[in-house]
A and B are shown apart, each in its own frame.
Chain A
């Protein structure tokens, strides 16, 4: 029977593409979550940046 090396290469090549693709997908997801966390962290409402005035000190609307 002929050796059919092209079929062997196709099988191992396809498996390499699938496994590397899945590995990269996990990496992408990890980076997305890190970015989401960083984004949320930077948009947390700050207590010092915009202090709410005390209710009694607010000037009534003119």
Chain B
């Protein structure tokens, strides 16, 4: 199952790159640097999904104390942090030629940086507490609190005046995006979602094997 997910992700990434570089047209205003968006935007969506999985698994762990839920939360939050890191880095690379700066402390960038640091703290907490049961409990609470900030990140572009543009897709009403660009974005999202699911499944399996080996 995990292997199948991995191969599906490889096929998806090949399709996504084809869509992003060969099918989608050169954007009129930004030029080809806009092609970074086919990576930057799906990466944050996958990070959001992973954190939501981590949130639900953390709630389940606190309610039922199931080790599988704890391992799923750990795997999902770790993979989400990887994708969020890619999102922040690619956003900075896109920002330099487009905005003229790598980074600015506007509401969207600051809130996403806060969430990133919270999930880094989550991973550090996992390493820092020696008692696995207590570590899992603390991490579950932090995972829930950190995931609750995701709406703040998403709506920050509406609630404050920011340099970052409002969302083009995850908003009420229809999108003004041309169909070829929309298709490239959605196929890249599917590809990265498959990659994220593969990483989470594999990481959860590693965590289970680790727990079994150390028991």
Contact of B89 among A1, A14, A22, A26 (CB under 8 A): A14
Q: Does B63 contact A (CB under 8 A)?
A: no
Residues of A within 8 Å of B33, CB to CB, are 1, 3-4, 7-8
Tell which of B131-139, B140-148, B173-181, B195-203 binds the partner: B195-203
A residues apposed to B, CB below 8 Å: 1-5, 7-8, 10-12, 14-15, 18-19, 22-23, 26, 29-30, 33, 36-37, 40
CB within 8 Å for A7 and B86 given contacts A26-B203, A33-B206: no
Interface of B is mostly: helix
CB within 8 Å for A10 and B213 given contacts A26-B206, A29-B206: no
Give the size category of B's interface with A. 20 to 34
Measured between alpha carbons, how far is A10 from B33 in the docked complex, in Å? 11
Contact of A11 among B85, B90, B195, B209 (CB under 8 A): B90
Interface of A is mostly: helix
The answer to whether B206 touches A14 (Cβ under 8 A) is no
The answer to whether A7 touches B31 (Cβ under 8 A) is no
The answer to whether A30 touches B90 (Cβ under 8 A) is no
Q: Does B130 contact A (CB under 8 A)?
A: no
